[in-house]
Structure formats: structure tokens, C-alpha cells
Amino acid sequence: MTSLPSRVRIVEVGPRDGLQNEKGVIPAQSKIAFIDALSEAGLPEIEVTSFVNPARIPQLADAETVLAGIQRRAGV
């Protein structure tokens, strides 16, 4: 039997990968609140958005606003 690693890396991708699949566009303030809550929960790495063509993925068209609005926490 192989030994398990002593550490694992957990990356939260919900704000980027999950929200881009929503049928409607979620307001930037709601995304910011969601991301801040994930950060407060202690998740060390969060993929918050992606700079993609808004014609292709309109759910992420507010990437700059979201990045400007989130609280940056030490260790995240």
C-alpha cells in the first residue's frame, strides 16, 4: 500500500468555476460577499474570477469589480 501524503492542497474554485455556469448573472456585490465569507472561513486559496471574453462568459464580466471589492486576508 502506498503511503498518503503528509499534506494536501485545497483550492476553492466555486467563485470562478461554479458561478460561470449559472444561467443568470450574479451581482458583483453578492460575489464579493461570497468570496469574503470563504476567506473568513479560512480557505487558504480561492480562485475568485477569470479575465475571459464577456461575450463568451457574461457571468465573469465584472472580474475587475470583484477583485477590487474583496477583502485581502493574510494567508489567503
pLDDT in tens, 12-68: 999 999 999 999 999 999 999 999 999 999 999 999 999 999 999 999 999 999 999
pLDDT of residue 1: 64
- Answer yes or no: is 41 within a domain: yes
- Answer yes or no: is 42 within a domain: yes
In the chain, the number of structural domains is 1
- Answer yes or no: is 47 within a domain: yes
- Answer yes or no: is 76 within a domain: no
Q: Tell me: the pLDDT tens digits for 26-41? A: 999 999 999 999 999 9
- Answer yes or no: is 27 within a domain: yes
b/e burial code for range 28-37 (CB count within 10 A of at least 16 → b): beebbebbbe
- Answer yes or no: is 2 within a domain: no
- Answer yes or no: is 57 within a domain: yes
Give residue 56's domain range.
Answer: 14-69
